[in-house]
Structure 1
Amino acid sequence: MKAPADCHSMQDLRVQIDLLDAEIVAKLAARAAYIDRAIALKQIELLPARIEDRVEQVVERVRARALVEGLDPALTEDLWRRLIEWSIAREEQVLGPVSP
């Protein structure tokens, strides 16, 4: 991939963004595979889909990483909370929701 400063036209820039988007989608698919494995392990370990302490730990880590990378931590948190909720819903399809 080229650095943004090495893109000298919008077409060139768009090609790089498209390549980056493909990498992001591939990483999200890989993350989903880990979620699927978590389902199997949570069944064995009798853990629920939602573990609030873990949710907050993940959010805290991505916010901190966003700051290091110069990315808006609020945006990062919003994106990750949505990703986490999707992941928990995926797990709950197999594990079921937590009973009150």
Structure 2
Amino acid sequence: MPPEHKVTLRPVVGLTEHLSKRDLEQITIQAIKRHRSLRDAAESKYEEWRKAPPSSGCDTVGPARIAYVSAMIDMHAQQTLLSTLLDVLGHVPLVPAD
């Protein structure tokens, strides 16, 4: 994505600009772990939606699809936060697999 279209959470930049690299790295690692957790939850909700019977009402996509879409929104919001933290930190810290 070209830099002019990159989403940066300015409040996060402001909150973290005076933190030490060690503290910022710790926060970034927590954000990476949270993103992984949200990704896993979204994948689980996707599988539940795919296995759910079709919604009988024409005015809703059904609770399984709504749960999946909500999980994806949470994951993408966290990704935006994580991208901002990585930009401020300047590198991707090593995070062991769970």
Q: Is the structural similarity TM-score above 0.5?
A: no
Task: Give the TM bin, normalised by the shorter chain.
Answer: 0.3 to 0.5
Task: Identify, as 1 or 2, the structure richer in helix.
Answer: 1
* More relative contact order, 1 or 2 (CA 8 Å, 6+ apart): 2
